[in-house]
Structure 1
Amino acid sequence: MSFLDRHLIVDGSRIAYRDRGDGEPVVFIHGTPSYSHEWRHVVPGIEAAGYRVITYDLLGYGDSERPLDKDTSVGGQTELLGHILDALGVERATIVSHDIGGAIGQRFALFHPDRVARLMLMDTVSYDSWPSETWQTIREHIDEYVSISPQEFEQLLTKQLRMTVEDQAAMEGPELDAFLWPHRTGVGRASFFQHQVSHYDSTYTQEIAGRLGELTAPVRILWGEHDRWQPLAYAHRLLRDLPNASLAVLPGAGHFLMEDDPEWVAREVLDFLRDGER
């Protein structure tokens, strides 16, 4: 299911990634419960426009390694992003991020401002916006959920994934199967709770909330009008707190913008990149 085709050992762990083009670097960071598959309809157009596009699966997600002894929290993933850029010889890049990837993007841009040319945040977690009540309950009883049957697990995740799109048909059949694919083994299900759910913790965004005004790189915020996980009010809060930010809202879209309207997302990414070149 993965459209990634390379592997890289970074800080002792295997990262699955894709790297195309020779132009200005652009790094795509996916969200949860997801993996780089969510960018499959967006990334090729950015590559074709002449940019060097790097897409990867977060550690513990998708086709990347699912380690037992590595920090796969937002904090750990933020540090790992720097190591990935170092390994690929990238000094400075535009970061395009979604959901929990947006928390990584916010933190990386704050802690390493010299390495971030621009930052795009799509339906990102922020402040105290996460986890949702459902995910918080699961996190509090994670030992019980780890042992549920494969059928119960698939029903749970299917219900959640269908909430990410406005048009339910966009998360049925092969499309739904693709998002369920990383979790259809015992290792995949255990990894989901270990590397994703256990790290649904707003500490990582709340501790930087008072510092967002320091983030001077251009920021473009994209949001689905009907996002049921990250309400639109958080987009407007980010717009107020980030000094060099702009906002575009996609009508009739949910949390997975790139599933509801990938062409719109690709146009927004390209417009944002080209604005910085003028």
Structure 2
Amino acid sequence: MTARAAYSEHLVSRDQGKLYVRDYAGAAPTFVLMHGFPDNLHIYDALVPFLTAAGRRVVTFDFLGFGQSEKPLGATYTFQDQLRDLAAVVDELGLGKFVPVAHDSSGPTAINYTLAHPDHVAELVILNSGYDDAFPVTWPEMVSLFANQSMAPLARAIAQSPAQFGWLLAWQKNRFSSAQPTDQRDRFNVGVGRVIADNFIEEPSSGPAFISLASEFYAELARNSKHLPELKTLEMPVKVIWGEYDPYVTTDVGRDRASHFRNASFSLLRAGHWLQADLPGLVAREMLA
């Protein structure tokens, strides 16, 4: 499917700046698709047409500091701020009961919003993403570098050198795609890979937001591990959809994530970390099932 679905654009105000939102008309409950900290809403460009073709309303947005959302000087970028970003979008658009869709570092936002507002969530969808540190995960090296406080001076030096940061970014992208079939790897390089590169290289850059969130990533994981027993109290359906070629957030991580919910299903697809771009039709089928 190549046709682009029509959407309306919104700028949703937060205390620190405005969030860029795309709203695709359709039936409720609305899918609210969230991105991670190396990318932006364009990671869902291939998936959205499949969801809207099925008649569903879809909302995508850039967290503050990413994509087309504002990147104000001196803004704070924390996981609590991202929770407030999601709440602002949901409230401004009057979505009522909706379906949060998590990917990558938006796992904490989707799951913690659901814990705080279970009556607002019809269903929860979790794609390859992080949430806790109770299950062993080897995080991407670029994330680990900026998350490890003992490496902060080195990380800052690399971030201030466009050549070094560009090399690190390209190396990390290759690590993500190395286990994928050739056709998926080629699409990644011209699709999501380009989105990631632009996210950091184009000015104003999403680098400050990434660095800030990465610096508190380990602390966020530890906080969320304490919430794991609470996940069994959630009654809504939870769909955990995972790409098996992810070299970091592996299949075992996905199975463990599903095990913490009372009413969860687990689907494994032959895709990489950005499964919504690798196999959008199959991801949509699982989301709509």
* Fold shared per TM-score above 0.5: yes
* Distance verdict in 2 for CA 1:63–1:186, change over 3 Å: closer
1:238 Cα deviation after fit: 2.0
1:78 Cα deviation after fit: 1.3
* Distance verdict in 2 for CA 1:219–1:175, change over 3 Å: closer
1:187 Cα deviation after fit: 4.2
Name the structure 2 match of 1:212. Answer: 231
CA distance in 2, matches of 1:60, 1:103: 17
The yes-or-no answer on 1:136 pairing with 2:144 is: yes
Cα displacement string for residues 166-210 of structure 1 (whole angstroms, at most 9, x for unaligned residues): 243233246533321121146416425434422323134223222
| Cα pair 1:126 1:234 within 8 Å, conserved | no
| Cα pair 1:27 1:55 within 8 Å, conserved | yes
CA distance in 2, matches of 1:204, 1:29: 21
The yes-or-no answer on 1:263 pairing with 2:271 is: no
* Distance verdict in 2 for CA 1:50–1:18, change over 3 Å: same
Pairing 1:46-85 to 2, within 5 Å after superposition: 46-85=51-90
Pairing 1:1-278 to 2, within 5 Å after superposition: 5-24=9-28, 25-128=30-133, 132=139, 134=141, 135-139=143-147, 140=149, 141-148=151-158, 149-165=161-177, 166-167=180-181, 168-173=185-190, 175-185=192-202, 187-188=204-205, 190-201=207-218, 202-251=221-270, 253-271=271-289
Identity across matched positions, percent: 27
CA distance in 2, matches of 1:85, 1:46: 19
CA distance in 2, matches of 1:184, 1:170: 20
| Cα pair 1:28 1:55 within 8 Å, conserved | yes
| Cα pair 1:183 1:189 within 8 Å, conserved | yes
1:126 Cα deviation after fit: 2.4
CA distance in 1, matches of 2:97, 2:287: 17
TM-score (normalizing by structure 2): 0.84
1:40 Cα deviation after fit: 0.3
1:7 Cα deviation after fit: 2.2
| Cα pair 2:65 2:77 within 8 Å, conserved | yes
CA distance in 2, matches of 1:74, 1:131: 20
TM-score (normalizing by structure 1): 0.87
Instruction: Give aligned pairs, total.
Output: 268
| C-alpha RMSD of the superposition | 2.3
1:110 Cα deviation after fit: 0.5
| Cα pair 2:34 2:106 within 8 Å, conserved | yes
* Distance verdict in 2 for CA 1:69–1:92, change over 3 Å: farther
Point out where structure 2 has 5 or more consecutive residues left out of the alignment: 1-6
